[in-house]
Amino acid sequence: MHIMGVNLWAVLVAAVATMPLGFLWYSPMLFANPWMKLMGYDPNDKAKIAEMQKSAGRSYALAFVASGLSAAVLGKIIAIASVHSVLYGMKFGFAMWLGFVTTVQLTNAVFSRQPWKLYTINTGYQLVCYLAMGAIMGAWR
């Protein structure tokens, strides 16, 4: 099913794909502990972690909607550019990440005096998501 040249199934799959990527990226296997410390949370404070987990549902829902919007816009750009491959989809995903995500997050990081390492963790996650979304959107054209 396509709307305005965008495959809605690809948008859905791309949005869903960002969820396990985020679970892995921000897991103890990768960046959970440094991210929590940089955000001002104590990774050993079980009560605070439990409090964060209680409100996580709404955050995940909003993140899913944001990922869906990003995937739809990326899908439209990929459709306009007549991209029909995983690799070129990833290239467009990279370009969108580099031109928009990194610049917006960098401006926020600079003015909020965010630590560089926190910026790289968060922006790195977005890179992985945009590459995955681009691959999915390029493959499902």
Per residue in 18-70, pLDDT (tens digit) is 999 999 999 999 999 999 999 998 888 888 888 888 888 999 999 999 999 99
Predicted confidence (pLDDT) at residue 141 exceeds the cutoff of 80: no
| Average pLDDT, rounded, for the chain | 94
* Range(s) of the domain holding residue 132: 2-139
Distances (CA, A) of 87 to 52, 93, 120: 37, 10, 24
Predicted confidence (pLDDT) at residue 2 exceeds the cutoff of 80: yes
Total count of domains within the chain: 1
Span 1-8, mean pLDDT? 90
| Ranges 15-19, 49-53, 81-85: which has the least confidence | 49-53
Distances (CA, A) of 26 to 20, 38, 121: 10, 13, 9
Predicted confidence (pLDDT) at residue 111 exceeds the cutoff of 90: yes
Answer whether 15's CB lies under 8 Å from 71's CB.
yes
Span 77-81, mean pLDDT? 94
Which amino acid, residue 51? E
pTM of the full predicted structure? Answer: 0.92
Residue matched to tokens 């999915």: 136
Beta bridge partners of 7: 2
Per residue in 91-100, pLDDT (tens digit) is 999 999 999 9
Answer whether 64's CB lies under 8 Å from 57's CB.
no
DSSP 97: I
